Amino acid sequence: MRGHWVRYVAVLGAMALLGGPGSAGAADSFCEERVVHDHLAPLKRLPKLNSPARLGFGPSNLRLSTQPSLVVNEGRVGFRLRYDDGLEGPALDWRATTTFARVDWKGRVVEKLAVARKRITGGRNGGIGFTLDEDDEPGPYRLTTVITDRDGRKLGRFGSYARLMAPTQGAVLAVDPGPHRPGELVLAWIENFGTATTTFGVPWRVERFNGTAWELAPESPGGPWILPLYFASPGHSSRECVAHVSPASRGRYRVVKEVGYVWPGGRLREEGGPVDLTAEFDVL
């Protein structure tokens, strides 16, 4: 899939982001990557396909990768044979025929899109892929692969589903539920309910409500900041806390965090630039 995002990490661990010893236990409770919305869940209700990790024939260290995949805007889906640990095995002489089709949510073929045939001689060339893009119909797709030997005898039949979705921007900023007391640590993290990848850096700010408007709180950090780039994958929370604050007094506060959105074939949100996410909480 084009549009691969790289997470650029300088020397920054969870302890550095959270401000040192004493924060690790609280961070472990909230700031771990987890699924907040499973975009692939509808695929699990489709008719089951044979998608084993191991083939059941051929070299014992040869694996088949045919996992359901989420394609946002554009990308490639397919299958791949590979040997464990990247090692090569004995030479093969197999034939693979793969059918790519758009199906409905009951698994029935709506449109047969392509048929690809390939000779497989080993793990390095053991893959077939197809491209989906923004012009294709969103929804479920199915790959079905039949592998035969050189004489045409069927060795196995395998399949997998993929889902094509349009990019959506659905990130929210969350804080631990409290109750919060003056001087106690409050943690914030990002939950990405959309299909576009949410990107963000280290900076954040803290604001306090003065009765009529929000103003910068004394507890708001001022930097200096290091500049790695982090992300929250579609349907997942961030892998780390993105802000922390220990308010000194009672009142209503909010954390403000700037994020952007990217997806394959897309780019950072242009209209209005990056987006500010906010999460409010009370200190009692």
Residue-level pLDDT, tens digit, the chain, 284 residues: 333 333 323 323 333 343 332 333 444 456 789 999 999 999 999 999 987 767 788 888 788 877 668 999 888 888 888 777 666 777 888 999 999 999 999 999 999 999 999 888 876 656 788 889 889 999 999 999 999 999 999 999 989 999 999 999 999 999 988 889 999 999 999 999 999 999 999 999 999 999 999 999 999 988 777 778 899 999 999 998 999 899 999 999 999 999 998 887 665 554 446 899 999 999 99
The CA–CA distances, whole Å, from 272 to 55, 201, 256, 268, 276 equal 51, 18, 17, 11, 11
Residue 243 exposed, middle or buried by CB count within 10 Å (0-12, 13-18, 19+): buried
State the pLDDT at residue 125: 58
Specify the residue for token string 């943690």: 187
State the pLDDT at residue 269: 52
Residue 272 exposed, middle or buried by CB count within 10 Å (0-12, 13-18, 19+): exposed
Contact (Cβ atoms closer than 8 angstroms) between residue 56 and residue 81: no
pTM of the predicted structure, to 2 decimals? 0.80
Tell me the sheet residues that pair with 206. 255
Of the candidates 225, 218, 250, 237, the residue with the CA atom closest to the CA atom of residue 277? 237
State the pLDDT at residue 121: 83
Residues in the chain: 284
Q: Which two tokens stand for residue 267?
A: 């780019």
Backbone angles phi, psi at 182, to 5 degrees: -55, 135
State the pLDDT at residue 80: 82
